[in-house]
Amino acid sequence: MTSPRPVGTLPDGRTVLGHVLTAPGIRLEVLDLGATVRSLRLSEDEGPGTEVVLGHPDVTDHVRAPLEFQGAVVGRWANRIAGARLVLDGTVHELAANEGTTCLHGGPDGFQLRTWRFAEATEDTATLELVSPDGDAGFPGRLVARATYRVAPGEVTIQLTATTDAPTVVSLTNHAYLNLAGGGTVADHVLTVEADHWLPVDGAGIPMGVEPVDGTPFDLRRPTRVGDALAATHPQVVAAGGLDHALATNGTGLRRVARLEHPPTGRALDVLTDQPSLQVYTGNALDGTRRGHGGATHPRHGGIALETQRPPDAPNQPDLGPSVLRPGEEYRSTTVWRFGRTAS
Rounded to whole angstroms, the Cα distance separating 17 from 27 reads 17
Q: Which helix (H) or strand (E) holds 243?
A: none
307 in catalytic set: yes
| Non-local CB neighbours of 311 within 8 Å, separated by 6+ positions | 79, 199, 207, 246, 248, 276, 277, 317, 320, 321
What spatial distance separates the first Cα and last Cα of the chain, rounded to whole Å? Answer: 41
Distance CA 198, CA 175 (A): 20
- The alpha carbon of residue 126 and the mean position of all alpha carbons in its chain are separated, in whole angstroms, by 18
Residue-level length of the chain: 344
Report in angstroms the alpha-carbon separations of 256 from 64, 115, 206, 236: 34, 31, 26, 26
Catalytic residue among 29, 51, 261, 307: 307
Contacts of 31 (CB under 8 A, 6+ apart): 7, 16, 17, 18, 38, 59, 62
- Among 175, 189, 262, 301, the active-site one is 175
DSSP string, 146-191: EEEEEEETTEEEEEEEEEESS-EE-B-EE-PPB-TTSSS-STT-EE
Distance set, CA 281 to CA 117, 204, 247, 285, 307 (Å): 28, 15, 11, 10, 8
Active site residue 44: no
Phi–psi pair at 230, nearest 5 degrees: -65, -30
Torsions phi, psi for 18 (to 5 deg): -130, 155
What residues are labeled active site? 175, 307
